[in-house]
Chain A
């Protein structure tokens, strides 16, 4: 009955046998004229804009940065080859350890806040009978606000004086003012709260869509068996969502490894490097020194991060492949 019953049938149907009429064409000798007649030229011209754009703005910078990671350059004077020096210097930089720990801490907190809360809200919203659209719109609204605007807005909310917005609200329930961004201990959680608020809407919409695909008969059956709402969530909803949950988890790890906007705009990596993340460190390598930063070190660390994220993406593809065929 469930969707997961179907894929094997589809898989068994593949690959299709080539139709008999196609076989002779394959053996025909190809020449430029047949290539043009066969639509090759127009295909190429149609592809050309994207090929050019990708080459100029994506692939070429990627290749250049890989080359640059083995060079010492300030992009003005001629570059010199330095082998693996940039990698050695990055790996021996004490700030790298700080940045990795901070990024992991951000990722951990982002999972702690950012993973269950949208799921919980989505389950709750799927249960309400009226005004579902309104709740979805409200939940999604933070995603519509430009990220820089949102951060600057939250910076005002995080005013550490007793008159700050959040501190005033805490005062209503008798909690003393918090330093928020102004203390090494509370800066990172403050960043994560804003990031969770900003991103939750997108996750909620995905979870809601996934929840709709859960067959209602399963809930009916659970209800007949005497399950309450939490048992239904635990035994029906979550197992049905496990594919989506896992994908969201991997995507979130990939996204949080690249966190830059929040620490850059909120704290500049402070106080005392408490919110220095890997991407912010890359930025500092490249741009802290006005006289042309160490672009070699910056690209070396970028390359290492890209390899890590590549592995994560590979895991994502492998696992989603498995989920989709299960």
Chain B
């Protein structure tokens, strides 16, 4: 009797465990028989209005596609979490990746081929050829939908400019003016006049952007699949010496030199930072995720110096995992076309999207670069004009100057690990007054070459 009871209890415990473990699995169809499509939305920490706007768009899509149940999943592209999600297979069905990763992902067979779908949708020829090249393999197959591009810009806090006696409508146009303004802000307000990202590979990303603005080339593509590192160049050296002077001679970079994309945005939105460089589309995140007051925000083009100078650009691409089935693929293409692409191509879709965002107090009109041809881009800008709610006057410097700058893409070989090497270089310069720039660059260059040779 006793033993039977024991067996019963134990069996119950084992069943309970089995049930718990079974609960770890995921299903892909809901009770109503609709197809569940998990799509990336915005980073964790977005405000309620962002969710409200998404809910409106989700309803609109589901009305048009009653057999699809869209499930928004919080998603932020960050190197460490992306690698883990990719390896663990826990990415949403539809997600976005930056240009830097696309080539390798498609070469590794980690992206779904959507050549036929893009062609069927009829806008394969409308893409900016440089940008569509980012998602094509050698045979011209297409592996994603470029949906947004940005150029690096100089973001500044108008309130701090005013407090320092500077004119916020006359932002600096040369690196020397940036230095002088940073010094004025630091002296008059006690805040950091200028800062730069330094951690989690973003230090290398920004050092690259500022080196390119001084005409640097960080890597040579040998055209045979191999690359030669050229980190030890005059533009990068000049950038590091410039940082050294801002930090150690002017003391205008504040006291925090361990900043990544999130923390520098936080400092800037909190009014602790005068100027920094980042993607031109960061306004949306600053206001939505970091509660920045729009009236404080200013944006201008990154200063460029020398004949070879350019502006580092980037962007992201809506993609799908190659592991999803045909039904999910078809639903995913519908979503991408509706959510990301139609608002760039179709007046009604552009205005509906802009209205949904504007009604929920989400940014409309954040400066981006065209992923489709310039004529389509200009047309789209015209369509959404009535709904634009970002302070475009405060971004005049950027809008007026960006199309005169030469766009430069990120280097392709071992991008993220080399950015990681450059994090150390920029950290050393900002935390050690006697840092030897030449030695640091020589070492980073040889380490980068070792990475490139080992791939």
Contact = CB atoms under 8 A, between A and B. Distances in A.
A271 interface: yes
B3 A160 contact: no
Interface string A282-301: 01101111111101000000
Contact of A288 (B79, B88, B431, B432): B79
B256 A270 contact: no
Nearest to B263: A155
Contact of B7 (A41, A181, A184, A289): A41
A142 interface: no
Interface in A84-115: 94
A268 B258 contact: yes
B14 A271 contact: no
A77 B109 contact: yes
Contacts of B10: 42, 45-46, 48
B180 to A, nearest CB: 22
Given A53-B17, A159-B255, A182-B255, A288 B80 contact: yes
Chain B interface SS verdict (over half) = helix
A271 B428 contact: yes
A270 B7 contact: no
B202 to A, nearest CB: 10
Nearest to B451: A289
Given A41-B7, A289-B417, A290-B82, A74 B108 contact: yes
Interface in A119-175: 159-161, 164
Interface in A235-284: 267-268, 270-273, 283-284
B40 interface: no
Contact of B258 (A42, A53, A76, A182): A182
Given A45-B11, A75-B88, 6 more contacts: A46-B6, A74-B87, A184-B431, A270-B199, A270-B431, A290-B78
B44 to A, nearest CB: 15
9 contacts: A49-B17, A179-B431, A271-B430, A272-B431, A272-B432, A287-B84, A291-B104, A291-B105, A295-B87
Contacts of B6: 39, 42, 46
Interface in B1-39: 3, 6-7, 10-11, 13-14, 17, 21
Nearest to A264: B80
Nearest to B10: A45
Given A56-B21, A288-B416, A75 B255 contact: no
Interface in B80-104: 80, 82-84, 86-88, 101, 104
B201 interface: yes
A205 B198 CA distance: 40
A287 B78 CA distance: 10
B256 A160 contact: yes
Contact of B3 (A37, A56, A182, A271): A37
B110 interface: yes
A307 interface: no
Interface in A30-59: 37, 39, 41-42, 45-46, 48-49, 52-53, 56
Contact of A271 (B83, B104, B257): B257
A291 B108 contact: yes
Interface of B: 3, 6-7, 10-11, 13-14, 17, 21, 77-80, 82-84, 86-88, 101, 104-105, 108-110, 198-201, 254-258, 260, 414, 416-417, 420, 423-425, 427-428, 430-432, 447
Given A48-B10, A160-B256, A268-B199, A182 B431 contact: yes
A183 interface: yes
A75 B21 CA distance: 23
A283 B425 CA distance: 20
A182 B427 CA distance: 9
A291 B77 CA distance: 12
**Nearest 4 Cβ contacts at the A-B interface:** A45-B10, A75-B87, A287-B80, A160-B255
B359 to A, nearest CB: 35
A74 B107 CA distance: 13
Contacts of B420: 284, 288
Contacts of A292: 83, 86-87, 108
A74 B255 CA distance: 39
B7 to A, nearest CB: 5
Contacts of A181: 258
Given A160-B255, A270-B423, A287 B431 contact: no
B83 A183 contact: no
Given A184-B432, A289-B79, A291-B416, A76 B427 contact: no
A287 B255 CA distance: 28
B83 A42 contact: no
A183 B431 contact: yes
A281 to B, nearest CB: 12
Given A42-B6, A48-B14, A161-B255, A273 B82 contact: no
Nearest to A92: B450
Contacts of B108: 74, 76-77, 291-292
Contacts of A159: 255-256
B238 to A, nearest CB: 20
A162 B181 CA distance: 22
Nearest to B77: A290
A49 B425 CA distance: 51
A77 B87 CA distance: 10
B104 A76 contact: no
A45 B423 contact: no
Contacts of A76: 86-87, 108-110
A288 B17 contact: no
A273 B10 CA distance: 52
Given A74-B87, A161-B254, A288-B201, A271 B431 contact: yes
A284 B83 CA distance: 11
A49 B19 CA distance: 11
Contacts of B79: 287-290
A284 to B, nearest CB: 7
A33 to B, nearest CB: 12
Nearest to B431: A271
A160 B255 CA distance: 5
B256 A182 contact: yes
A179 B447 CA distance: 29
